[in-house]
Amino acid sequence: MKKKYFGTDGIRGKVGVHPMTADFVLKLGWAAGRVLAKQGKGKAVIGKDTRISGYMYESALEAGLSAAGIDCLLTGPMPTPGIAYLTRTMNAQLGIVISASHNPFYDNGIKFFSGDGTKLSDEIELAIEAEIENEMLTVDSALLGKAERIKDASGRYIEFCKGTSPFFMELSGIRIIIDTAHGAAYHIAPSVFSELGAEVIAIGNEPDGVNINEKVGSTYPETLQQAVIQHRADLGIALDGDADRLIMVDHKGEVVDGDELLFMIAMARKQYQANDNKNFGVVGTLMSNLGMEIALKNMGIGFVRADVGDRYVMEELHKNAWTIGGESSGHIICLDRTTTGDGIVAALQVLASIVSSGKNLHELKQGMEKFPQHMINVKIKAKVDPLSSDLIIKAIAEAQERLADKGRVLLRASGTEPLIRVMVEGADEQQVLSEVKGLAEIVAQVFA
């Protein structure tokens, strides 16, 4: 069955516009509670990022869950992976995050985790959608859910993150700029790295409800690049609004993207597990740079591509019994450390590679030669399959023929925004730029 509300990462939209209205989120909380209650009375952990609309949705979810007889544990601002961790360790049956990740403040969304800290299955999401269509009924008063705030939620998660780093990790003498995008990790990420000994300078750590992701964070690394150069830092770490993705900057002010970070982590894992590499590989996506694929294969590390989206990366990881995967955008999954993508945990794994190798971030990324890759996001009126147009199919074939076997073309609809992403990759940068611009113009003519 096709889902009506759930996308690749929960439910997301503009605040006040269906489905992101207070009444719908109230019903959503009730529906999720009803599905959960079929397994007996349970509890849900609710966290959020720093958007002003989070207050409204937190109250709505709490009311809906309570009406279904589910107890609520409220964390306040908390990274998405932090909710996954707390859901698992507090023996809750459901984790809920109020966040639209890297989107502007006027968007918001609802993400769910199962009791074991993983994304909900398609079956559970479809069950919740089916329940939404039913009349909302409240349990007897004696069975209503209760709500309480977890006072030490941040401290619990900070200790967990630190525990994912190797015992030899000592960051003293390393100056790090941390950009938390005025988001959910503003009060957590600086503590993690400073408590491990690093000299930390925090930026993007003054949320006011409307400045989340505004010219800061992983989707706007220019601010971090400037700060790294200005403070002569060894490296910079940029998270997004809910801290589940990561981009880094080396001491020269150069951006190190998710593909390069994934390569570094995989390279270090192969060295750690020198005697146990019979089934060691990495899952990337259709957007992963061809240079990473080549570099991994040259090291004897397996590589497969999944559809774009962390749930698809996770599916391939389980299918291959691997532990490392991720996306170019910086959403990196280390299943040998945690259950979901985690920007802070991924950054700690990169730092472990730096400490153990004695090389800096700039030197480590030299092991992978990136192919020029350019992407243009074309805004469209409504979600549509870009391959539904014969004109676009023909244009793609012609571009691929010109690139031959030294490049590739990919067009895909965004799973969270009304965009078609046009990507071209190849050995010659000028050719890549020419092809991507030409394809983007055709897409705009057809769909914009």
Strands 255-256 and 246-250: antiparallel
Q: Tally Cβ neighbours within 10 Å of residue 362.
A: 16
Q: How far apart are CA 51 and CA 56, in angstroms?
A: 10
Sheet order of strands, 332-334 included: 302-306, 281-285, 324-326, 332-334
SS3 108: strand
Q: State the sign of the Cα–Cα–Cα–Cα dihedral 266, 269, 274, 279.
A: negative
- For 39, 154, 189, 190, 204, the CA distances from 237, given in Å and listed in that order, are 41, 19, 10, 10, 11
Question: Which of 98, 64, 271 is closest to 183 using CA atoms?
Answer: 98
User: Which of the residues are catalytic?
Assistant: 101
Q: How far apart are CA 340 and CA 432, in angstroms?
A: 33
Q: Which residue has the tokens 């306040």?
A: 76
Largest CA-CA distance found in the chain, in angstroms, rounded? 70
Asked whether the beta carbons of 95 and 45 are under 8 A apart, the reply is yes
Asked whether the beta carbons of 269 and 280 are under 8 A apart, the reply is yes
Residues 6+ apart with CB under 8 A from 211: 105, 182
Q: How far apart are CA 426 and CA 290, in angstroms?
A: 9
Residue 436 backbone dihedrals phi, psi, to 5 degrees: -70, -35
